[in-house]
Structure 1
């Protein structure tokens, strides 16, 4: 098989041809018309893309999106206490079974404190039955993709991206000193059984847009309406 490239062919075209040959000769497919598919129509998967993978956190669930991702581990959402101005602002997915170092010290005040989370949804009717429950989480591995993206105020992914899950945008309450990052919590949240007692800690509230001088994109945004979100991989 001979392949002739014209002088005006660019480097990308040459790379695609080389990758196509590699896919055939290197195990990518026995038939000339067969090659691994990726997210880009009309392009061949490079060796780097074929072996790539990306990790994302599925907030609010103990599973990963079927047929797209595998579970690395499951756990509980945790973070700083809602009244504390110090500590970490990023939420963590704490594993269900921790492993402590030898020589553990269980006392002392010079510490950074972490707390379990609670969903605060008493006035959000779809989730009223899980108000003050502790949401779960899972760390997921998406193979054959190289990046992940959380898009606020959207329910769909851009063309060519893989939708991992759709959710509700959640954050800290506006008047609490313990602010933290926004999370995209799955629309069908899973909570720890028997976790309804109100213990506070790391609190998650639905996020709404406030129309006015400081948020002038209304319409199409709606004042005081809960914002969705979506997590996508490429």
Structure 2
């Protein structure tokens, strides 16, 4: 009889000890991610981690799988020192003379693919036109006047974002310069479109020099008023740079 009472008391004491250890284990894990007493007694090979810190964000210089794409307007090849060329093509957009012709220029691939199952005869369409440089009055770019504008889609590996910075020629500290050039946009008497950073050494599509007047690109210049002068200068062309990080 005494033996049974002793065994029963032992079981109760052992159960209380386990309860205390388990409580201490949870409290200690919440603080430090582990309980040394519990680990010593029972091996400590837990399958869960409590309050484990999040992995820190990727910092500059850590390549990982990060990459970012951007368009190099005005050239049909990417900067080999910073990026790789995904495809080359031609700039396209809405006509300068058509209202609602579209404000977002596209870099159209040299080799288009068509889905004939989606072709429907008749009805209205949204036309897209090739782009031309209108640079006869801007001497640094006059050699490409009326030429069709080319482009390239570029991939910068090891970086996660790109940005076009107007009115700058250099990138902020910690950023990589992909290319720089001249800010170009629509004529103030035409239907507007987005501003593009055209490479400072622009190319025209080979053999293109006829004036077709579709999507037109003009050099952008500062106009004083709400734009403060100085530091801006009225009538002076605006530079640009494309940076990645």
Q: Pick from 200, 208, 212: which aligns with 1:199? A: 212
Deviations 1:19-62 (A, max 9, x none): 9xxxxxxxxxxxxxxxxxx636xxxx3xxx52100000000001
User: Which residue of structure 1 lines up, in the alignment, with residue 231 of structure 2?
Assistant: 220
Return the alpha-carbon distance in structure 2 between the equivalents of residues 94 and 161 of structure 1: 28
Within a 5 Å distance, the mapping from 1:4-153 to structure 2 comes to 39=60, 45=62, 49-103=63-117, 105=119, 108-153=122-167
Describe the shift of the 1:107–1:123 C-alpha distance in structure 2 as closer, same or farther (beyond 3 A). Answer: farther
User: Which residue of structure 2 lines up, in the alignment, with residue 180 of structure 1?
Assistant: 193
- Whose helix proportion is higher, 1 or 2? 2
Count of equivalent residues:
195
User: Which residue of structure 2 lines up, in the alignment, with residue 189 of structure 1?
Assistant: 202
Return the alpha-carbon distance in structure 2 between the equivalents of residues 133 and 106 of structure 1: 32
Find runs of 4+ consecutive structure 1 residues off by over 3 angstroms.
Answer: 13-16, 103-109
Describe the shift of the 1:199–1:107 C-alpha distance in structure 2 as closer, same or farther (beyond 3 A). Answer: farther
User: Which residue of structure 1 lines up, in the alignment, with residue 240 of structure 2?
Assistant: 229
Return the alpha-carbon distance in structure 2 between the equivalents of residues 206 and 119 of structure 1: 9
Structure 1 residue 157 corresponds to structure 2 residue 168? no
Query: Which structure has the bigger radius of gyration?
Result: 2
Return the alpha-carbon distance in structure 2 between the equivalents of residues 92 and 14 of structure 1: 39
Return the alpha-carbon distance in structure 1 between the equivalents of residues 54 and 187 of structure 2: 53
SS for the counterpart of 1:50 is coil
Describe the shift of the 1:94–1:14 C-alpha distance in structure 2 as closer, same or farther (beyond 3 A). Answer: closer
Return the alpha-carbon distance in structure 1 between the equivalents of residues 195 and 167 of structure 2: 12
TM-superposed CA distance for 1:109, in Å, is 4.7
SS for the counterpart of 2:141 is helix
Deviations 1:184-215 (A, max 9, x none): 00000111111110101000000001012x22
Return the alpha-carbon distance in structure 2 between the equivalents of residues 192 and 75 of structure 1: 9
Return the alpha-carbon distance in structure 2 between the equivalents of residues 121 and 153 of structure 1: 19
Return the alpha-carbon distance in structure 2 between the equivalents of residues 172 and 14 of structure 1: 47
Return the alpha-carbon distance in structure 1 between the equivalents of residues 178 and 198 of structure 2: 12
Return the alpha-carbon distance in structure 1 between the equivalents of residues 151 and 160 of structure 2: 21
The two structures have a TM-score, normalised by structure 2, of 0.74
Return the alpha-carbon distance in structure 1 between the equivalents of residues 83 and 121 of structure 2: 40
User: Which residue of structure 1 lines up, in the alignment, with residue 185 of structure 2?
Assistant: 171
Describe the shift of the 1:99–1:222 C-alpha distance in structure 2 as closer, same or farther (beyond 3 A). Answer: same
Return the alpha-carbon distance in structure 2 between the equivalents of residues 86 and 109 of structure 1: 17
TM-superposed CA distance for 1:130, in Å, is 1.1
Deviations 1:136-176 (A, max 9, x none): 10000000000000000000000000000001000001111
SS for the counterpart of 1:129 is helix
The two structures have a TM-score, normalised by structure 1, of 0.78
